[in-house]
Amino acid sequence: MMKVLDGVVMELQDLALPLLGDVIPTADPAVAFKDVAAAFLVGAMPRKEGMERKDLLAANVEIFKVQGEALDKYARKDVKVLVVGNPANTNALICSHYAPSIPRENFTAMTRLDQNRAQAALAARLNVKVDKVKNVIIWGNHSSTQYPDAAHATVALPSGVKPVLAAVNDEKWLNTSFVETIQKRGAAVIAARKMSSAMSAAKAAGDHMRDWWMGTNSGEWVSMGVLSDGSYGIPKDIVFSFPVVVQNKQYKIVQGLPINDFARSKLTATANELEEERTEANNVLHKK
């Protein structure tokens, strides 16, 4: 793949980005991870037709073992790690296992693409620009069990800022079509273009790391897959998407949001899936 990578380097040079200082194309983890402050782990084994989830996890353990060990050995100890390659949540957990000298909370999974999709869908429904919609939440796994939650979101309308629930005024749509569309959006993109999301995923990865680095705006939160501390009754030690605020490069899970029965059922379902993935991943790890 080095020849392909050389083509990517050419494109990066040709973009003439004023902030881009240097590019080092390499297939050597020792070179790739040396002194890195931010790591975007994009590569993973994609799920193929007929592949069981345990087989997918087994293949990804091999990938994230190499990357975790390299991070542990060569990266800065305060490195911020964003796992993009799916299954991202459990891959982040696996990677942290192989990098014991780096704080586990420094390993995150990307659910920002799902948040951006949800924000865009609500903006389209309300006929406003996407930046007028704030505080949509993605709970759980970056999979079809995720729960896109508009219950705490707001929208800036010409008449003032309103809760999205009141502005949409269609709870059935929010609990069915909206949720299902966001849950299945990745599959819809693949069906349409025969490849996974590319530009939208890259934008979301940039959004995630920028907010982790620069902080969130006052009164706003973003969704990140982070190590659960038991908040909202979610089992500890799974990487679960929560709403977070960021200050001084440290994220904190937003606390105290009311969770209704419908939302609770969705959180439970996605947490159960992540616990199953963790069990399967641990089974693979213990065979090593």
Residues in binding site: 47, 53, 60, 84-86, 117
Question: Which of the residues 97, 142, 152, 208 is marked catalytic?
Answer: 142
Burial of 221 per CB tally in 10 Å (0-12, 13-18, 19+): buried
CA–CA separation, 231 and 259 (whole Å): 12
Dihedral class, residue 76 (left if φ above 0, else alpha if ψ from -120 to 50, else beta): beta
Binding-site annotation: residue ranges for NAD(+) = 60, 84-86
Q: Is 208 an active-site residue?
A: no
**Cβ-based neighbour number of residue 49 at 10 Å:** 4
Rounded to whole angstroms, the Cα distance separating 133 from 126 reads: 9
For residue 31, the surrounding DSSP H or E stretch is: helix 29-32
Residue 158 to residue 274: CA distance in whole angstroms = 41
Query: Alpha-carbon dihedral of residues 90, 228, 217, 117, nearest 10 degrees?
Result: 40
3-state DSSP assignment of residue 237: coil
**CA–CA gap between residue 27 and residue 229 (Å, rounded):** 35
CA angle 113, 32, 206 (to 5 degrees): 20
Q: Tell me the binding residues for substrate.
A: 47, 53, 86, 117
Tell me the C-alpha distance between 222 and 242, whole Å. Answer: 8
Q: What is the spatial distance between Cα 186 and Cα 143, in angstroms, rounded to a whole number?
A: 9
Q: Which of 136, 129, 133, 85 is nearest to 241 (CA)?
A: 136
Residues annotated as catalytic (active site), given as ranges: 142
